[in-house]
Amino acid sequence: MVEPYPDLTAAQREAVLHREGPLLVLAGAGSGKTRVITRRVAHLIETGVPAGHILAITFTNKAAGEMRERISELTGGARVWVSTFHSFCARLLRRYADLAGYKRDYTILDGADQRIAVREATIESALDPKAYPPPKTLYRIERAKDQLLNPAQLLEQAQGAHDQAIARIYDLYQTSLRESSAMDFSDLVMQAVLLLKRDAVREEITERFRFVLIDEYQDTNIAQFQLARLLSLKHGNVCATGDPDQSIYGWRGADVTNILDFEKAFPGAIVVKLEENFRSTGLILAGANGLIRHNRGRHEKDLVTSGPEGTPLEFVPCRDEYEEARLVASRIMAEIRRGVSHEEIAVFYRVGALSRAIEGALSEKGIAYRVVGSVAFYQRREVKDILSYLRLTANPSDDLAAQRVINVPARGVGRGTLEKAKIHASNERTSLFEAARALGNGKRIKNKRTRTGLLRFVEIVDLLRARARSGVTLQELVRDVLCETNYRAFVSENAAHSSEESDRLGNLEALCDGARDFDRRWEGPLLDDEDELHASAPVAPPKPAPRPAKKKQSPKKKQSAKVEGPAAFPLFADHLDAIPAGSTADPVEERREAAPAESGRVEVAEEEEEEEFGPETEHASGISAFLEHTALVSATDESRDQHLPRVSLMTIHAAKGLEFESVYVVAMEDGLFPHSRALEDGEGLEEERRLAYVAITRAKRRLVLTRARNRRHQGRSQSQEMSIFLHEIPPEAFPAGRSPLEQERSYAVGATRTVRPAWEEGIDGPGYDEFNQDDSSQPSWRRAARRQEEEGRGSSRPKTALAQPKRATAGSRADLEEVRRLAQAISRQGGIAEYASGDQIYHEHFGRGKVLAMRGRSSALKIEIEFEDYGTKTLVLQYARMRKLEAEEL
């Protein structure tokens, strides 16, 4: 018999062909995971599973978009529901909002809103925000929600007064969110889990989704794990894919035990391992394998490849961030000249702030680039203001939105009035918005101007609500907001410079454009009628029950509207259809035409299913749909020029799941990568190492690592140590087997002033005795290692509520020895080559020699050496492959 799918490996085929029951695909980096998932979905559909019964969940919109696109290509346009955890949960909560105790038009809060709400809860608890910093408290609250702990449960396990106070703040915070009918990101998942625990809801949903796929499973937290479990409780058809070595979201509550214990959680699970890498060259893989081997408590596993070894990794030492940026830019330029596409080149950094310098150098050279996931458009002040008016239009209970714009633009409603309104609202158990109305009409506020201001605010929102119901488009509604509030004039008056003014006005225009694009795709009311608000979908008995909600015109029809030109915002592609973001209009059209015919067999079933619960049907109103989009989809996911070839700049986190021919990782320095803040947590170093692993394994053919010796950090310039990861990557992966340390010591490729003249010696060389040093002057990873050692000796600190089998941490004896050894090597050898006459050196070709003299400056720095076997020679230091000999080698 002929094997099906001869283009797949045996393991890949096994995963694709697997049918019923739980399946875990342990997919190493570049092992064809996406391919397996999409082929598996296609296979299910081909063998008779209606597309509507399949649900695929990812972490990012980008991943969802790509998967949707590829499935669509493979199946001729099958309409599988692919979405992020958060989008899926948001839809589920719309459908069952009343059961969950929220309005259908609930608000999704962003981080800034959350901080404000936490801050207020802190003050309300009579606690000092200085002693309880809102961001820290918020972090605790979110982690609690990630573990499905409600305030009472958090209080129960509180240790000490501080923890109890946090639990109290959580309680107040949650109450205030609920009163505003608002949810934060963690709520979306937590509340969805609570819903799915109800038999009736679960019945209906599991009837709808018989096959569930979850990508990047190693990054799931407890709530997401429960969601997966509940979704597959009935049919057991859950397929998880992931790689423990790529778990990089511990700080967000992700728990690797989910993937490690998959077989326990889903009895009878089949595990398929994909360990053959089809992406990277042998040397890149060797670098990655060698690095990740330094992590303790991991299953030994090496990625293998049968592909070519490729060229060595490049290490580029630089003087400072400007030189680093310039060198990266010129290398990129050279690649582009050689014909490498912009799209195949990426620059990664650990923290977003590092993009600045690179951006500068790239634009100087005229290299087109794109910063992935940068400053969120929807977070801009002017945009948030307008969105707040929309939020109030959809959900007048949204007190955070009301608070934000009750006096924007200024209309005489100051802090005092706001306080009075809040008190009134809490006394009367009403919204801030209604409180504003009451105070405006009442006698309690003496100042006439203030009363007028309040009434004006109320009037604007009332008007917007009326307009929204009267059938205007969203674009018109946004224009109404701008018009009624006179917002443009407000911007102009308040802008400090004309550039700021035009910036902000431009953002407002962009928002209007976004609204226009939304209108193109959305058919249906912007705002439900009042009575329908309360008649949200009841839990129907599983079988027939078409949803009683009013029948919206199928968005599919609307989709045939022309997508205009390449400049059109591909907004909402993820929500309304299977158009890959960035597609040009024509292929999209074709796919739409082609889809029904080719999947005709299952068409009828699909239509019915989608009336029940689908990505297209679960919005309470158009405004909510738009707001949900702004909350869950970052603006860069849909940037208008995605199709233009550009070099990509992004954080390593944002790079997960992507691949590029050429990858540059900048700022490989201690404190930055590994990041000092990440090391505060016990297992931080290991997660940082996984992050480095992710970065390396994104590269297909070329990997360039850079570091700056000095970097301006917060105002002042700081001397930086090399990242420990540069020492951990096997030297064999570098040219001539020379580690970055060796390379830096003896010569510097193209780095003009990295090699400092001998007379500057001793200014900032390390050379300290590490054991007598004050902690603060040591590399942060070394401090972290020491701390881990101390913790390792003491009682183990409970990390999560659920007792998890404790893995060995990096604090183990052998690991610490390793760190010590490296640390000594570094301090002994010094960072950068510094030569003085009389120094003994070793040259790769010429062997031993003695330095006679140094001549010239910077890039032309020459060194005169008397070799033992080759006589006296003058070499250009920059290209001399040699190193200084240490005392014990003499």
Partner DNA sequence: GCCAAACCACTTTTT
Partner DNA sequence: GTGGTTTGGC
653 binds DNA (CB under 7 A): yes
Q: Which is nearer to DNA, 468 or 696 (CB)?
A: 696
First to last CA, the chain: 69
Q: Which of 12, 31, 232, 417 binds DNA (CB under 7 A)?
A: 417
Q: Which is nearer to DNA, 258 or 305 (CB)?
A: 258
Catalytic residues: 33-34, 215-216, 246, 698
596 binds DNA (CB under 7 A): no
- Evaluate whether 50 touches 606 at the Cβ level (below 8 Å): yes
> Binding string, 7-46, against DNA, x = CB under 7 A?
----------------------------------------
By CB under 7 A, what part of segment 330-369 binds DNA?
351-353
In the chain, the amino acid numbered 295 is: N
Structure tokens at 387: 């969105």
Q: Which of 135, 548, 798, 871 binds DNA (CB under 7 A)?
A: 135
Give the single-character DSSP code of 879. G
Q: Which is nearer to DNA, 210 or 384 (CB)?
A: 384
Q: Which of 12, 84, 147, 241 binds DNA (CB under 7 A)?
A: 84
d(CA 527, CA 620): 8
Q: Which is nearer to DNA, 648 or 827 (CB)?
A: 648
Q: Which of 202, 252, 479, 643 binds DNA (CB under 7 A)?
A: 252
Q: Which of 25, 27, 81, 85 binds DNA (CB under 7 A)?
A: 85
Minimum distance between the CB of residue 225 and DNA, rounded to whole angstroms?
15
- Evaluate whether 223 touches 187 at the Cβ level (below 8 Å): no
Q: Which of 364, 680, 790, 866 binds DNA (CB under 7 A)?
A: 680
d(CA 563, CA 584): 8
133 binds DNA (CB under 7 A): yes
> Binding string, 170-199, against DNA, x = CB under 7 A?
---------------xx-------------
- The SS3 assignment for 788 reads helix
678 binds DNA (CB under 7 A): yes
Q: In Å, what is the CA distance from 302 to each residue of 31, 278, 294, 735?
A: 12, 13, 12, 22
Q: Which residue has the tokens 């695909």?
A: 25
Minimum distance between the CB of residue 715 and DNA, rounded to whole angstroms?
4
Q: Which is nearer to DNA, 120 or 519 (CB)?
A: 120
**DSSP conformation letters of 846-857:** TEEEEEEEEES-
Minimum distance between the CB of residue 514 and DNA, rounded to whole angstroms?
17
Q: Which of 59, 106, 315, 781 binds DNA (CB under 7 A)?
A: 59
Q: Which of 305, 624, 651, 788 binds DNA (CB under 7 A)?
A: 651
116 binds DNA (CB under 7 A): yes
By CB under 7 A, what part of segment 437-456 binds DNA?
445, 447, 450
648 binds DNA (CB under 7 A): no
Q: What region, left, alpha or beta, does residue 148 occupy, with left being phi > 0 and alpha being psi -120 to 50 degrees?
A: left
413 binds DNA (CB under 7 A): yes
Where are any strands of DSSP class E within 227-300?
A: 238-242, 270-274
Structure tokens at 559: 């989709």
Minimum distance between the CB of residue 307 and DNA, rounded to whole angstroms?
30
Q: Are strands 847-855 and 862-867 parallel, antiparallel or unpaired?
A: antiparallel
Q: Which of 14, 73, 158, 251 binds DNA (CB under 7 A)?
A: 251
407 binds DNA (CB under 7 A): yes
Q: Which of 197, 551, 677, 855 binds DNA (CB under 7 A)?
A: 677
**Other CB atoms closer than 10 Å to residue 581's CB: what's the count?**
22
Tally of CA atoms within 13 A in the half-sphere of 255 that contains its CB: 22
Task: Mark the segment that binds DNA (CB under 7 A) among 408-416, 760-768, 817-825, 881-889.
Answer: 408-416
Minimum distance between the CB of residue 290 and DNA, rounded to whole angstroms?
23
Where are any strands of DSSP class E within 314-434?
A: 314-318, 345-349, 369-371
Task: Mark the segment that binds DNA (CB under 7 A) among 22-30, 166-174, 677-685, 824-832.
Answer: 677-685
Q: In Å, what is the CA distance from 401 to each residue of 129, 396, 487, 857?
A: 22, 9, 16, 61
Residue 166 makes CB contacts below 8 A (sequence gap 6+) with 132, 137, 140, 141, 154, 158
412 binds DNA (CB under 7 A): yes
Whether the bond between 542 and the residue before it is cis, its omega within 30 degrees of 0, is no
Residue 804 makes CB contacts below 8 A (sequence gap 6+) with 255, 257
Tally of CA atoms within 13 A in the half-sphere of 746 that contains its CB: 19
Minimum distance between the CB of residue 544 and DNA, rounded to whole angstroms?
33
> Binding string, 363-402, against DNA, x = CB under 7 A?
----------x-------x---------------------
- Evaluate whether 770 touches 782 at the Cβ level (below 8 Å): yes
Q: Which of 368, 410, 594, 860 binds DNA (CB under 7 A)?
A: 410
Structure tokens at 789: 């050692």
**Other CB atoms closer than 10 Å to residue 297's CB: what's the count?**
15
Cross-strand pairs, 719: 710
d(CA 128, CA 133): 8
Cross-strand pairs, 855: 862
What residues line the site for DNA (CB under 7 A)? 59-62, 84-87, 111, 115-116, 119, 129, 133, 135, 185-186, 248, 251-252, 351-353, 373, 381, 407, 410-417, 445, 447, 450, 632, 634, 650-651, 653-654, 675-678, 680-681, 714-715
